[in-house]
Every structure is written in structure tokens, then in C-alpha cells.
Amino acid sequence: MKENTEVLKTLGDSILEYIKRKPAVPGAIAVTVVIAIIIGIAGGPAQVVNAIVAGGMWALLATGLTMILGVMNVPNFFHGESFMVGAYTAYFIFTPIHLYLMDNPNKFLSTIAPFAGFFAAAVIGFILGSILEKLVFYPLRSKTKERWVMNSFLLTVGVSYILSNGVNLVLGPNFRGIPRYWDVPPIKFFTIRLTVDRLFAFFLAMVVLLLLWYFMGKTRTGRAIRAVSQDEAGAAMVGININNIHTLTFSLGTSMAAIAGAALLFMFQAYPTVGLRPLYYAWYVVMLVGLGNVSAAVVGGFIVAFLQTATQQFFGIEWGEVVPTVVMMIVLIVAPSGIFGSEVKGIQEQ
């Protein structure tokens, strides 16, 4: 009996201690829940569902971004272009199949056709990431590590402009989109109508994040990635090929952004600068929760989605950039390394 109260007391103490140490964490979650409830009351439950769906995507994007940042210390500014490449890939794979199916209806093929697009986007994203890592970041890394964070950041800025303008040059500025992936009526859920595309985009984001979580936590290679992010010299000492891990991480992050681009093609048509908004939101999430903090990025995706929905609900879409920036300013003044704290060494030093 006495022991039980003792345990409860220590538990309570440690929770209090945690809240004292990081008061922002429960605060942020509480604020998000409150925002969600307010959105639900003001805009109806459909708005809440939409925010959750968007949150899944921002989480996916931000996770890729923060992984690259955490493992390689590269602040990636062309994450949006990876998104764009995914969108184009899905478009060019899915559209011909779709046209063929219009002439030759086949229910089974129609159901799985979108997957071809997603898969192709994942693969192309992965390949793009590997090529860029080997072509751009590997040479920089082997030249000098001085001012690495800023220099690599500027390289990604260069890559970003090359990619978007290169695509503009080759494919032109036109929008390429699809009305929907699955031509089926929306799912009704009490008063909420949810298209299958939306539902699936969310589902896909969650599956990818779960796979990633398993990969990072339970596999030898995933552990190696975490090891490199925590101590590069230590990782080399236990026999990890750092260069390979860097390439792999970069490719995975790029691939995740490409998957997001593919999954959202029905919402964001493919065009050369389609990546701007996803880039903004991904960075927003990462800054808000703390650089390199992978698990926090998932939570952050949802926080930002609610913030975004609330902004549109109460201020109007044209304030979509102003209000979040003000919120970010306040957050960073209170917690300069994000709500959940940064896990990246090297960033702080520069």
C-alpha cells in the first residue's frame, strides 16, 4: 500500500519534472487539441478530418527533411523539388495507364494503377537522392567540413533552383494534374464526406512512417543511420561505412518527399514550382518542433496542419503565410530550438 503511493508519487514527480523541464510539450499538444476542437465547432468535423489528412502529409515531408538534417547535417532546401519530381513521376506513369483503362475498363487494374505511380515516384526519388548526394554533397564533404551546415544549405538552394528551372525548361510551366486516382464515390462517415484519394494519402503517409519507424528502430541498417547521426567517429569505429549511410539517408528522405508528391497529385497538380508550399510547411514543422527530432516531426505535422486550417478558417486564405510566421516568431522567442528541442549536434555551433 505504502509502496504503491510511493510509486505514484515518484511517477507524479517525474511527470512534473518533465513538464517543468519542457513545459512546451504538453502545452503544444494541449493548444493543438483546443484548436482542433474550435475548428470542429466553427468549421464542422469535415475540417478536422481534412486537417488530419494534411497533417499526415506534412509529417511525412517533415520526417524526410529532419532525417537528412539529423544524420547528415544538411538543411535541405530542395525538399520541395523532390516533392515536385514525385508529382511529375506519378503523373507520367499514372496518366497513360489511366487513358488505356478508359478504353479498356478493368476494375482490378483501375484499383492498383495508382500504386504504379506511387511506387515509381518512390524509386525515382530514391535514385535522384543518391545521384545528388554523390554528385554534390559527397564532393563537398570530402573537400572540407568547415561551415558545413551553411555551405551544404547553400548547395541545396542551388540544386533547388536548378531542378525547378530545369523542369520548367524541359516540360514547360503548364500544370499537369489528374482529377482523382480512384474513380469511386466518397466515403460517408456520419456527416463527413471523404474521398478515397484523401483517405488513401493519409493511409499511405502513415504506412510509410510506420515502415520507417520499424526500419530505424529494429534493423541493423536503421540503427547504423541513428548511430551516424549521434556520433560519426563512433560509427566509423564500429565499422559503418559513413558514406553509404549518408547516401542511403539522403535517398530515403528524397524518396519520402517524392511519395508525398505522388500521393497528393490529385490536390497539387504537377508544375515546376509546386514544391514551394510543401517546402515551406516541411520546414515550418521542423523549425517548430526542433531540428533533427524525427519523432517530434510526426507530431509537428499535425500541429501545423491544424494551425494552417485554423488560419484559413478564421483569417482567410490570404493570411496563410502571415499568421503562421507570427506564431513561429513567438514560439522561437520562447523556445529557440523548437518546442521539443533539437537533436542535431553541429547545428548549434554554427
Partner 1 sequence: MLKVENVDSGYDFLQVLWGINIEINRGEFVALIGPNGAGKTTTLRTISGLLKPKGGRIFFKDELISNLPPYEITHSGLSYVSEDLNLFVNMPVYENLLMGAYIIKDEKKIKQTMEYIYELFPRLAERKKQLAGTLSGGERKMLAIARGMMSNPEMLLVDEPSLGLAPYLVRNVFDALKTLHGEGLTILLVEQNVNATLDITDRAYIIEQGKIVLSGKSKDLARNEHVQNVYLGI
Partner 2 sequence: MIKSTGKASTIARTLMSRTGFSSSGIILIAILAVLPFIPPFNSEYILRWLVVGAFMAAQAVAFDLTAGFINVVNFGFAAILGVGAYTSAILANTGPHIIVQPGISPWIGIFIGAFASAFLGFILGFLTLRLRGLYAAIMAWFVGIALLGLARTLTPLTRGSLGMSPPSFFDTPSNMPYYYLALGMMITIYIVTKLVTTSHIGLAFKALGQNFDAARASGINPTFYRVFNFTLSCFFAGLLGGFYAHYFVSMTPKAIMHTSKSVETLAIAFIGGRGFLWGGIVVAFPFVFLLEYLRSALPQLPGIHIIIYGVLMILVMIYYPNGVAGFITELKKKLWRLRKPEKT
325 touching partner 2, by CB under 8 A: yes
Judged by CB under 8 A, how many residues of this single chain contact partner 1?
A: 18
Nearer to partner 2, 208 or 270 (CB): 270
Q: 111, 230, 348, 350: which one contacts partner 1 (CB under 8 A)?
A: 230
Q: Which does 280 bind (CB under 5 to 8 A by kind): partner 2, partner 1, none?
A: partner 2
DSSP string, 153-176: HHHHHHHHHHHHHHHHHHH-S--B
Through-space distance between the first and last CA atoms of the chain, rounded to whole angstroms: 53
CA distance 12 to 116: 51
Nearer to partner 1, 158 or 217 (CB): 217
Cell of 230: 549521434
Q: 192, 332, 341, 345: which one contacts partner 2 (CB under 8 A)?
A: 332
Judging by beta carbons within 10 Å of its beta carbon (0-12, 13-18, 19+), is residue 87 exposed, middle or buried? buried
97 touching partner 2, by CB under 8 A: no
CA distance 35 to 105: 45
Window 266-305: residues binding partner 2 (CB under 8 A): 280, 283-284, 287, 291
Query: What minimum distance in Å lies between the beta carbon of 339 and partner 1?
Result: 18
Which among 17-25, 153-161, 262-270, 294-302 is the span making contact with partner 2, rule CB under 8 A?
153-161
SS3 320: coil
Window 23-52: residues binding partner 2 (CB under 8 A): none
Cβ within 8 Å of residue 197, ≥6 positions away: 180, 181, 182, 266
231 touching partner 1, by CB under 8 A: yes
Query: What minimum distance in Å lies between the beta carbon of 296 and partner 1?
Result: 13
SS3 270: strand
149 touching partner 2, by CB under 8 A: yes
Cβ within 8 Å of residue 217, ≥6 positions away: 223
Cα-based angle 317, 323, 329 (whole degrees, multiple of 5): 155
Judging by beta carbons within 10 Å of its beta carbon (0-12, 13-18, 19+), is residue 110 exposed, middle or buried? middle
223 touching partner 1, by CB under 8 A: yes
Query: What minimum distance in Å lies between the beta carbon of 226 and partner 1?
Result: 7
Judged by CB under 8 A, how many residues of this single chain contact partner 2?
A: 48
243 touching partner 2, by CB under 8 A: no
Q: Which does 290 bind (CB under 5 to 8 A by kind): partner 2, partner 1, none?
A: none
Q: Which does 185 bind (CB under 5 to 8 A by kind): partner 1, partner 2, none?
A: none
159 touching partner 2, by CB under 8 A: yes
Residue span 237-256 as binding mask against partner 1, x where in contact by CB under 8 A, dash where not: xxxxxx--------------
Q: 104, 170, 220, 333: which one contacts partner 1 (CB under 8 A)?
A: 220
Contact 116, 319 (CB under 8 A): no
Rounded (10°) CA dihedral 104, 110, 116, 122 = 150
Q: Determine phi and psi for 302, rounding to 5 degrees.
A: -75, -40
Judged by the rule CB under 8 A, the positions of this chain that interact with partner 1 are 220, 223-224, 226-227, 230-231, 233-242, 343
